[in-house]
Structure 1
Amino acid sequence: MLSRTASELFWMARYLERAESYARVLDVTWKLSMIPRHSQQSRIWRCR
């Protein structure tokens, strides 16, 4: 019984840590998407 509870707590913590990592990635991506881009840079990326 104790082993099962410990195992479930371990996996719960692992998935929680993974969710936090994804949340950080989404947060950084969202913040980077809010940075205005220069029109010249946009044209360079579109041409390639």
Structure 2
Amino acid sequence: MFHNHPSRDIRPSEEDINVTRRLSEAGELIGIELVDHIILGEEYKSLKAEGLL
């Protein structure tokens, strides 16, 4: 999954982290793995690489 931050600030918000965890848990229930969550801005940030997934 990915989304953009129009502000170009790629730091994940608490809401970004919470939604990622909830989507990952929901996916597990139906057998779909959330591989990563990428935030796009001036550059990009991988929540998986940051240990947040």
TM-score range, shorter chain: 0.3 to 0.5
Q: When you count helix as a share of all residues, which structure comes out higher?
A: 1
**Highest CA radius of gyration, 1 or 2?**
1
| Structure 2 length-normalised TM | 0.35
